[in-house]
Copies of this chain bind each other. A is one copy, B any other.
């Protein structure tokens, strides 16, 4: 297994940040919703100190925004934000794929093949998205650049948050998207397995660009 960070500081703040992150991404907290520290402290059964620290983590991850008055709200994602998130993904993942291609092994190929197989059998759109993201994460980590992976995590969470709303807005995922997306994954794998950095970067960029257009058809 691949570990990205040595060990995060294990304290209540980090615990709370992780839980809140999951809740925000899954839509448990709605965009624009105010996050008052006393309420959250009560919810988690702690004092305000760890809650405040958790909010800073979430703000840095872009899931939450501070107002000039000090209030904290769940970040609101608009059309423009989704474009930004995808552009950031392309920037980071192109480089990630480029680096990964130079270090790719047969074991990596097998991992991706298993993932693709699972994607094809995924029972739901949500499950498919999880497998999709997990595969992209694997490639990013495989690139071996911890900073790139860390930056990518931030974008990934914002992307997942956006995905939750797109799903809610558009109902079910377009059925063809999955087939189309898997096709893209196969192309990426081919480039990676061939050890072609330039090709891998280009194919990955195209794959991300393609798949997002299924969500927001212009």
Contacts and interface: CB of A to CB of B under 8 A. Distances in A.
Interface of A: 6-11, 13, 49, 52-53, 56-57, 60, 62, 66-68, 70, 81, 84-85, 87-88, 90-92, 94-96, 99, 145-148, 150-151, 154-155, 158
Given A66-B8, A70-B9, A145 B56 contact: no
B49 A84 contact: no
Contacts of A7: 68
Contacts of A67: 9
Q: Number of copies of this chain in the oligomer?
A: 2
Contacts of A151: 88, 151, 154-155
Contact of A53 (B9, B53, B99, B150): B53
A179 to B, nearest CB: 28
Nearest to A94: B91
A93 B196 CA distance: 22
Contact of A92 (B57, B68, B85, B91): B91
A96 B88 CA distance: 9
| Closest 10 A/B residue pairs (Cβ) | A91-B95, A9-B66, A60-B60, A7-B68, A84-B147, A84-B145, A56-B56, A88-B147, A151-B151, A91-B91
12 contacts: A9-B67, A53-B53, A56-B56, A81-B147, A84-B145, A85-B147, A87-B147, A88-B148, A91-B94, A91-B96, A92-B92, A151-B155
